[in-house]
Amino acid sequence: MWKASQHSKSCKTVSLEKTMEEIVKEQREVVKQVLLEHGNTVVDTVRVSQLYGGMRGILGFMCETSRVLPKEGILFRGHSIAKIEECLPRAADGFVPLPEGMIWLLMTGKLPTQEEVKYITKYLNEHSTLPEYVIAVMDNLPKDLHPMTHFAIGLQALQLNSVMLKERKEHPKTEWWKLALRDSMDLLSKITLIAAHAYNHNYRGEKICYQVDCELDWSANFTKMTGFKNPKFDECMRMYLTIHADHEGGNVSAHACHLVGSALADPYISFVAGLNGLAGPLHGLANQEVLTFLNELIRDVGKAPTDEQVLNWLKAWLKPGKVIPGYGHAVLRVTDPRFTSQENFAKRNIKDDAMVNLVHQLYRVVPNYLKSVKKVNSPYPNVDAHSGVLLSHYGMTQNDFYTVLFGVSRAIGLMSQLVWARAFMYPIERPDTITTDGLLELIKVKKEGKDKHGNDTKDAKNK
């Protein structure tokens, strides 16, 4: 059994659940008032192209934890990456925020104190024991199974822990968010152990009986469990888990988690649904594609090309219609602040790494070139342009494991979103659909000045 090596006393002056109780009451009143005053206000329209185009741009549901703005980048509970880096508590000898602080922030909406972050670290460590049956399930998985599948199976097996599954009927609906919170924090306390098992089982060929060190933070325990001993990699992991923690609610993984959760599935099942969406090549594999791209560039022009050599190679690369992985963003129209965070980390901690230098060189060359050749909505680097290179630098070269890391980090946001969905008692998600024939008929009716029920909208307006 994997368990904590020390069980220090829980901090009695801090409680995440009690802190959230008052905040939940306040926010329920805010939502109640918004619905009362603006319930019939139209906030969006839908085009036929959006119905066929993956619902892009349709304002569909609420997400309180984060928001992405074209010029500011992602805001976590209203706070920019720069603000997060300045205000979230750090490890005693560290320079980047602890992801435990992001857990507190996304759950409560409040920037945490050092004591509150210590409470989260203690909670995660003290609840980190993995059930023997979960370890047995994962031990018997084939070593050539994709690590994301291994990861998802381990997490889903944890469902037996769910208090929401066992106790929901014993509590009023207004209190279900507390059950979701307990399950969510349990999942977060064990997720790094399951990710570590996937790594050790698939790549190191080891069965480990590891004790979590209660003197270490969440990230440092994770890197230690996977065999890494470099304190700078601990810092890299803290940064990675913090900046990838959330990204609004409409992306595939977040939306899948929200959708399944809306049917009152427990957080374990809901998160695995989101995780399986994250495993898709159009969602969670971008930083792997960046590494493949960089290796091809180095193969053709060497490890230290001139800007001119890079530019000429890019022209040939783009000619058949390819794109540059790690560049462009659906919303952002500036350099992704998460890229900048990683760039600053690299400049502070890494010297003379050819791949890292190439990432920074591309940043000098690519945006200006893309702006000069055609209209590009966003010619700037996103978060994926840098993350894989950093992980590889510190020795985590197994790039098919990177989506597992993404999943560990994104659990922070998805669990926070799920808790608040239950706090607001959102109903089951069930949008209407229509066939192409039905759509053509609806368009015809609309052109005749009627609504979808056949009522004359022109007469209604005249009245």
Q: Which residues are catalytic?
A: 283, 329, 384
Tracing tokens 């988690």 back to the chain, one arrives at: 257
Of 164, 157, 411, which is closest to residue 264 (Cα–Cα)? Answer: 164
Q: How far apart are CA 150 and CA 195, in angstroms?
A: 8
Burial (CB count within 10 angstroms: exposed 0-12, middle 13-18, buried 19+), residue 251: buried
DSSP result, 324-377? -TTB--SS-SS--HHHHHHHHHHHHH--S-HHHHHHHHHHHHHHHHHHHHS--S
Q: How far apart are the first and last CA of the chain?
A: 73
DSSP result, 56-122? TT---S---SEEEETTTEEEETTB-HHHHHHHS-B-TT-SSB-HHHHHHHHHHSSPPPHHHHHHHHH
Tracing tokens 């300045």 back to the chain, one arrives at: 86
Amino acid identity at 223? T
Amino acid identity at 449? G
Q: How far apart are CA 236 and CA 234, in angstroms?
A: 5
Query: How many Cβ atoms from other residues are within 10 Å of residue 270's Cβ?
Result: 29
Q: How far apart are CA 316 and CA 202, in angstroms?
A: 37
Q: Which helix (H) or strand (E) holds 161?
A: none
For residue 166, give Cα distances in angstroms to 21, 179, 336, 427: 22, 10, 42, 21
Residues 6 or more apart whose CB falls under 8 angstroms from that of 302 comprise: 309
Q: What are phi and psi of 204, to 5 degrees?
A: -100, -10
Tracing tokens 């050092």 back to the chain, one arrives at: 114
**Do the beta carbons of residue 73 and residue 338 sit within 8 Å?**
yes
State the Rg of the chain over Cα: 24
What is the sign of the dihedral through the CA atoms of 242, 244, 247 and 253? negative
**Do the beta carbons of residue 69 and residue 78 sit within 8 Å?**
no
Residues 345, 348, 350, 353, Cα dihedral to 10°: 90
Token pair belonging to 27: 């926010």
